[in-house]
Amino acid sequence: MTPEREQELLKKLADAVVNYDEDMAREGANEAIAEGMEPRKAIFDGLVVGMQECGRLYEIQEYFVPELLMCADAMYAGLDLLRPLLQKDDSKPRGQVVMGVVQGDVHDIGKNIVKMMFDAAGFTVHDLGRDVPLEKFVEEQIKTDSEIVALSAMMTTTMLGMRSIIKMIRERNPKAKIMIGGAPVSEQIASMFGADGYAKDATNALKDAIAMISSLKDM
């Protein structure tokens, strides 16, 4: 493949995501596969670059939640074709995350955005959804042996539930890293509850998660 063609294809994949065009994402992925592009390259230099641009457009209020969800669908359409072709070594996820909105809380818009960014970065996300019973987080962490548990709450009372979840996880598996977020949560609350991390938005959540995974690998 010529460098020009490679650039053209990567741009097509990125644009498909930014323009939330699922068909174009599939077409781009199929062309990449047919023309022998490394799947890893197509994913990370194509689709994911597009998703990062969507995150930027969201931050400057050019895109809003529906647009982001559709961009993510375009990204998933491409990923579905490319992921199965990853080499063994490459196909190992970057890390696993159990994620959900705690019991009594239906506010899941923010959590879904965080999930999207984690998917884009190559994490395997076990999404428990919203209004999740507290013990479910503990069970799922043990079942999947995930490195990270990410808890979201948008109300104060439901935020208090996080404290119990953190306590239960610490008792069962002290190694798991726990990050929390949502509008009422703050750095202070995170340390008071004994969480390992807090982030105010999806971009920072991802940065923290990547740092947590590297710290675990160093151990």
Partner 1 sequence: MAMSIRDRVLGLFSGQEVDRVACYSGMGNVTTAGLAEYGYKFPSIHGDPGKMANMAASSYRLFGFECAVVPFDMCVEAEALGCAMNAYEDVNQLLYPTIKEKIIHSNDEMTRITIPGDIHERGRFPVVLEALRLLKNDVGNEVPIGSWFLGPFTMAGQLMDLNDLFKLCFKKPDQVNSMLDILSDLIIAMVPRYRAAGADYIVIREMGAPTDVLSPRTFRQVIKPHLEKIFRSIPSPKILHICGDTNLIIGQMNDVGAEAVSVETKNDLVKSRETIGIEPLLFGNVDAYNILVNGTPEAVGEAVLRSLAGGVDAVWPACDIWPEAPLANLKAMVETTQKYGASNWARKTRADQ
Closer residue to partner 1, CB minimum distance, 69 or 168 = 69
Among 69, 163, 201, 207, binds ligand B12 (CB under 6 A): 201
Check residue 68 for interaction with ligand B12 (CB under 6 A).
no
Instruction: Say which residues have a Cβ less than 8 Å from residue 50's Cβ, sequence separation at least 6.
Output: 13, 14, 15, 16, 17, 18, 71, 74, 75
Q: Residue 24 or residue 176: which is nearer to partner 1 going by CB?
A: 24
Per-position x/- string for 173-192, each x denoting binding to ligand B12 as judged by CB under 6 A, each - no binding = ------xxxxxx--------
181 binds, among partner 1, ligand B12, none (CB under 5 to 8 A by kind): ligand B12
Q: Interface with ligand B12 includes 126 (CB under 6 A)? A: no
Which among 79, 133, 135, 129 has a CA at the least distance from the CA of 109? 129
Name the strand (E) or helix (H) holding 98. strand 96-101
x-or-dash string of contact with ligand B12, 86-125, rule CB under 6 A = ------------------xxxxxxxx-xx-----------
